[in-house]
Structure 1
């Protein structure tokens, strides 16, 4: 009787070994229409990405009183650019305001936005963004993907400045959020 389980286990094991070849690959997809960008693993609940004076922050924008222009934002993706629109009453961003990262080796650099008279670093990149599932990714020229976002808490509890860690340095004092789309 104790040996009758062996054929069942062998049958189950053969199914498990065969399973990966029958699975469909995870498909790249870009959200349609307007969406939010949110960050997971910074707080006990998901937090929104927001705009303040050309820099990307995560948290409750109403707590951030340091920017001259601070707004909640929504996004649309066209081609591989992430276009940003203000949603806070009374705030307007330029129609060509784009989300950017700075993929520079061995540096962890702030993530931000173009437009609105803000000085944008020369090494800012606004193209090659895609979504892999709901995850915001940046695509290298060779087709590989990266989502190396980092965040450091500001002097306001629960508000984080967003960074990009191109070389995966994982510096101390930074958290590693997951940045995703949300409707």
Structure 2
């Protein structure tokens, strides 16, 4: 089941904000240059998205001691792919490290990264990422947009593993973060 109401709500919101008598569509906007991804609605403050051994997490990366390679990251969007760069001193990611989701029916699956000796799952998708304002979205082939990210707290307080809920199952035990660019 696709979540298709969001574009309608966003279009309505943009028309309400438009000057009387004018209707302007809400336009897709991709950040220019390098940016971070952040998650809202997980803790009382905004938390960063970070990389650890090929999996995407949200929270303070310095608290996460379980990964062999853990780093804060920045992104550049190019041709709907999210190219990932390490920002933690002494850590380098492969130049082709990309953010991926796994849009698989009736499953809530981890968000991750390609490259760096980590084998990405066969159903991993690295394309069709776009932004609506600062909100990270994934675009279905039919043009429908989705921001169905989920997060589940790990055994470290304030650190969450990031997931993608293709079928909008809203499973218990998961939070529903808003993932946005920092710019």
How far has the Cα of 1:121 moved from its partner?
0.1
Q: Deviations over 1:62-99 (max 9, x none)?
A: 00000000000000000100000000000000000000
Aligned length: 167
Distance 1:182 1:156 in 2: 24
Q: Deviations over 1:26-56 (max 9, x none)?
A: 1100000000000000000100000000000
Distance 1:20 1:136 in 2: 29
How far has the Cα of 1:145 moved from its partner?
0.3
Distance 1:22 1:37, change over 3 A: same
Q: Deviations over 1:143-176 (max 9, x none)?
A: 1100000000000000000000000000000000
Distance 1:21 1:166 in 2: 37
Alignment pair present for 1:27 and 2:27: yes
Counterparts of residues 13-162 of structure 1 (less than 5 Å): 22-162=22-162
Distance 2:102 2:53 in 1: 17
Q: Find the counterpart in structure 2 of residue 10 from structure 1.
A: none
Question: Rg larger in 1 or in 2?
Answer: 1
How far has the Cα of 1:107 moved from its partner?
0.2
Q: Secondary structure at the match of 1:138?
A: strand
Distance 1:143 1:20 in 2: 28
Q: Deviations over 1:105-130 (max 9, x none)?
A: 00000000000000100000000000
Q: Find the counterpart in structure 2 of residue 166 from structure 1.
A: 166
What root-mean-square deviation, in Å, do the aligned CA atoms of Structure 1 and Structure 2 show? Answer: 1.4
Distance 2:82 2:112 in 1: 11
